[in-house]
Amino acid sequence: MASNATDYIKHHLTFWNSDPSAGFWSLHVDTFSISLILGFIFAGVFAMVARNAKLENPGRLQLFIESILEMVQTQVRDIFHGQSKMIAPLALTIFCWVFLMNFMDLFPVDLFPMIAQWVGFTFFGLEPHHVYLRVVPSADVNTTFAMSLSVLILIIAFSIKAKGLGGWGKELLSAPFHASSPVAAVILAPINLALQFVELIAKPISLSLRLFGNLYAGEMIFILIALLPWYLQWILGAPWAIFHILIITLQAFVFMMLTIVYLSLAVEKH
């Protein structure tokens, strides 16, 4: 039984890898494809609502979308102190896309893997045991690190745009310890640069690992619940799923908020 349970867990935690022998250069096909599909769903729904928006008697979907837009705009106005037309759309995209990726964790554990196994066996003659599919992109550390690295690039770009390349370079060498003389400035420059580098690298690492850790843990708990008898699955699964709705929403909100905060700090002159 332990061996079967171990194989079950390993199978559910294995990605659909394009070429396992390629190592770093391989692609998690399931993570990439599901993320892409969810991105198109987000863009398609918002575009449809925007085209069909009504001033009088708006539908429930339009009201729901407008509430999300208002929430995002409120957070951007309160936190971001610079001038940029891309912050609000960026924050909206991050919140909705991350939420949709997290939401995939609420589907039954065996639903999509069983469909993939059936398709693989029926149309391609593959052994079901060798067909893998993980449907929670944010439980893949590659996804969370890719998003956080994108945020890091934006932080650097916003800093350079707001302060200039020379101003940003001066800040890297002169903060947080300010020097009162040229000699002290030279001595403190390597220390400041090291501290700035640590602070800069800590931002994407904390962003990615926070999201990945929470979703990976949630996915693991659902897998463990699926190993229990069916009556215990309902007793334990339903409360955890309800609680997990709060987690997936909170994690999407935190990722969005921290991105806005980091970009706001990037454009402020210290």
Cβ(171)–Cβ(266) below 8 Å: no
Question: What residues are labeled active site?
Answer: 206, 210, 214
CB neighbours of 41 closer than 8 A, spacing ≥ 6? 100
The CA distances from residue 46 to 52, 73, 177, 244, in Å, are 10, 16, 46, 25
Cβ(91)–Cβ(256) below 8 Å: yes
Cβ(171)–Cβ(163) below 8 Å: yes
Ramachandran angles phi, psi of 26, nearest 5°: -80, 170
Two tokens, residue 226: 């699926």
Ramachandran angles phi, psi of 71, nearest 5°: -60, -45
Ramachandran angles phi, psi of 17, nearest 5°: -95, 135
Specify the DSSP element, H or E, that contains 192.
helix 182-226
Q: Which residues pair with 28 in a beta bridge?
A: 17
Q: CA-to-CA distance for 87 and 259, rounded, in angstroms?
A: 9
